[in-house]
Chains A and B, each alone.
Chain A
Amino acid sequence: MSPMMTIAKREFRSYFDSPLAYIVICLSFLALGLLFFMFNGGFWQLDRALVSRLFEYTPMGLSFLVVPVVTMRLLAEERRSGTLEMLITLPVKDSDVVLGKYMGALGLVLVLVISTLVYPIGMFKWPWNLGPLDAGPVASGYLGLVLFSAASVALGLLISALTESQAVAFFLTFFVLGALWLFGDLASKANDYPALAALLNYVSFQSRLSNFWRGLVDSRDVVFFISVTVLSLMVAFRALERRKWA
């Protein structure tokens, strides 16, 4: 096994050694269930067998809770406790460390994303069959979720690489991801300033994702998420390397 995979495996497993992973998973499922069925003219009032709400609420939960919690400790905690020195002086490249940790954290988030499949499966396959499933938007919605998770975990990792405090990492990630999400809402209210609205839409994760919900896979959106991911990882790598010269 490559050093990168060893680090990823350790990182992924360590989530389950602490209560953190369990709490996060339980809370987010509870919240998702409440939002899906009750909130804002919920599933029952709407009276239509739609899963698109799922794609609307899952990324919110990820932005505001899951990703900040999962990524806050990645590098911040290692730096604070000094384990980073132990890890990096093993024969590993800095890129192995960044990518390994990234994959470990992304793994946990994807487990969560994939578990939400119980909604479409439960509604359209078994035990209930509310009608034929419109597979296209569901598939594109999940593609969007995966791309979104990749980008936000990368951002979280980057922020964790910049600080030594988990709390600071949490709040910064929370703020950045939250802002990138809410920019979408803001854009719809900024009709008087088309340039501003366009800019907000351009950077907003929400606006980018909304295309996926409608079953539209736009290459611009795909490239956007992938670019955010790659760029964040590269900057995180640089931030880790900076210790050598600081």
Chain B
Amino acid sequence: MATDVMIQANGLTKRFGVVRALDKVNFEVKRGEVVGFLGPNGAGKSTTMRILTCFISPTNGSAKVNSHDVFDNPLEVRRSIGYLPQRAPLYTDMTVWEYLKFAAEIRGLDEGTFKKRLKKVVEVCGLAQSLGKDISTLSHGYRQRVGLGQALIHDPPILILDEPTSDLDPNEKAEVLRYIKEIGKDRTILLSTHNLAEVEEACARAIIVSKGRVVADGPLDQIRGTTGRVRYVVTIDEKRAEASNKPPSAVQAQEALERLNGVKSVRELPTDETAHKFELAGAQDSDLRAEIFRLMVAKGWTLLELRRDAQSLDVVFRDLTRGDEKLDRGAGWSAGDDEDEDEEDEVDQKSPAATDEEESDEDEEDDDEDEDEEEAADQKSKGKS
């Protein structure tokens, strides 16, 4: 049993000056697990990964990788892992082949093994066309592939990937995820991302961190169930109604919906149509759709849309990490190494996947509007599915 634990973090705490980047983080990753490491920017994902790869040391706590301690045996730890840092920083003056050769030489691979591994890595990462090119001429997506190739060159039992799919186009993303799933069968993979769809695709388990703490850790289904709510979206036409009935005003409709049994809250959502759109929250194991429909029939209102969502991972994520982003943006990290990490993160946030939340986040302050974020996130996940 004990030997099956490949990564073990024990009360990891990391302070940068007065800022506590990690606060007693505990988790285990077992052999053959593909674990998604989730969290808003600045939550401590990269810091954790840097500790696990012995790039920085924790202020407190300990970690073991492949049963080697990160303090006592950093070289053995690094031999057991392939690591892709955020944004794949590579020596741009080398060609792809030279770079992979360099990594292999430092890892002590002999010529024969290198050739064999190179073949496999080139195939997997789609690097055949660019082996002879200077890394400086490659697009970011290709650099990411080279970084991934470098992490795989020695066939490590453990892979630690810091946002491996950022900057890849959708096809590349799908390919990388497929590959991660494939190699994850007999390997241990810890991958960080803020793209939740990817986690749902590639990982069976997720660890969610927020403000340096683990706020959820478990199989995806279990995490989805943690906040225990179901949401409904109801859209009612504001111009037309059945027969002699008058179409409702927003207030009328909201009040009517609130009176329904089992409805916990009702919020109006913005919409482009000439309609009233509401979001309802209900209890986890209930289904209010029939009641909503009957209400519409009784009032003679025109129901344009009725939808029930099981809690999506997006929403859970938001619930668990709420307030985090604003907080971090206000305070900011102050100390050394993490400063540039934060900058990078800020840039990352501007990536297309995150723009919806970004916009709503920027100019809305109160809690009410936060629900809109959920909506935006929801539309996003709809778009993806």
Q: Which residues of A contact B (CB under 8 A)?
A: 1, 3, 6-7, 10, 14, 17-18, 81-83, 85-86, 88-93, 243-246
Contact = CB atoms under 8 A, between A and B. Distances in A.
Contacts of A10: 91, 94, 102
Contacts of A92: 75, 78, 106
A91 B50 contact: no
B16 A246 contact: yes
A171 B234 CA distance: 66
Nearest to A6: B105
Interface centre among A18, A89, A90 (most CB of B within 10 A): A89
Contacts of B337: 243, 246
A-B residue pairs, 4 tightest by C-beta: A82-B89, A244-B57, A246-B336, A91-B78
Interface string B90-104: 110110000000110
B304 interface: no
Contacts of A244: 55-57
Interface string B146-172: 010010000000000000000000000
Contacts of B53: 89
Interface string B57-93: 1000000000000000001101101010111111101
A89 B53 CA distance: 6
A82 B102 contact: no
Contacts of B147: 86
Contact of A83 (B78, B89, B340): B89
Interface in B95-147: 102-103, 105-108, 147
Given A14-B94, A86-B85, A92-B78, 9 more contacts: A6-B106, A10-B94, A14-B93, A82-B85, A83-B89, A86-B83, A91-B107, A92-B106, A246-B335
A-side interface mostly: helix
Nearest to A90: B106
Contacts of B353: none
B177 interface: no
Contacts of A88: 55
Interface string B277-308: 00000000000000000000000000000000
Nearest to A93: B75
Contact of A17 (B87, B89, B93, B106): B93
B56 A17 contact: no
A89 B54 contact: yes
Interface of B: 16, 50, 53-57, 75-76, 78-79, 81, 83, 85-91, 93-94, 102-103, 105-108, 147, 150, 335-337, 340
Given A10-B102, A82-B87, A90-B106, A17 B55 contact: no
Contacts of A82: 85-87, 89, 340
A6 B109 CA distance: 12
Contacts of B81: 89
A85 B79 CA distance: 15
A245 B337 CA distance: 10
Contact of B79 (A6, A91, A93, A243): A91
14 contacts: A1-B105, A3-B106, A7-B106, A10-B94, A10-B102, A82-B89, A85-B85, A86-B150, A90-B78, A90-B107, A91-B108, A243-B56, A244-B56, A245-B56
A191 B147 CA distance: 61
A244 B59 CA distance: 9
Contacts of B88: 86
B4 to A, nearest CB: 23
A96 B336 CA distance: 24
Contacts of B50: 85
Contacts of A85: 50, 55, 85, 89
Contacts of B54: 89
A7 B75 CA distance: 16
Nearest to A100: B106
Nearest to B53: A89
B193 to A, nearest CB: 18
Contacts of B76: 91
B89 A90 contact: no
Nearest to B15: A245
Contacts of B83: 86, 89
A18 B106 CA distance: 23
Contact of B89 (A1, A7, A18, A86): A86
A90 B75 CA distance: 8
A189 to B, nearest CB: 43
Contact of A86 (B90, B107, B340): B90
A1 B340 CA distance: 34
A83 B55 contact: no
A89 B336 contact: no
B147 to A, nearest CB: 8
Nearest to B92: A81
A108 to B, nearest CB: 14
A7 B79 CA distance: 17
B337 to A, nearest CB: 6
Interface centre among B83, B94, B102 (most CB of A within 10 A): B102
B89 A81 contact: yes
Contacts of B150: 86
A201 to B, nearest CB: 39
Nearest to A15: B93
Given A90-B106, A91-B75, A91-B107, A83 B91 contact: yes
A42 to B, nearest CB: 39
Contacts of B335: 246
A88 B103 CA distance: 11
A83 B90 CA distance: 6
A91 B81 CA distance: 9
Contacts of B106: 3, 6-7, 90-92
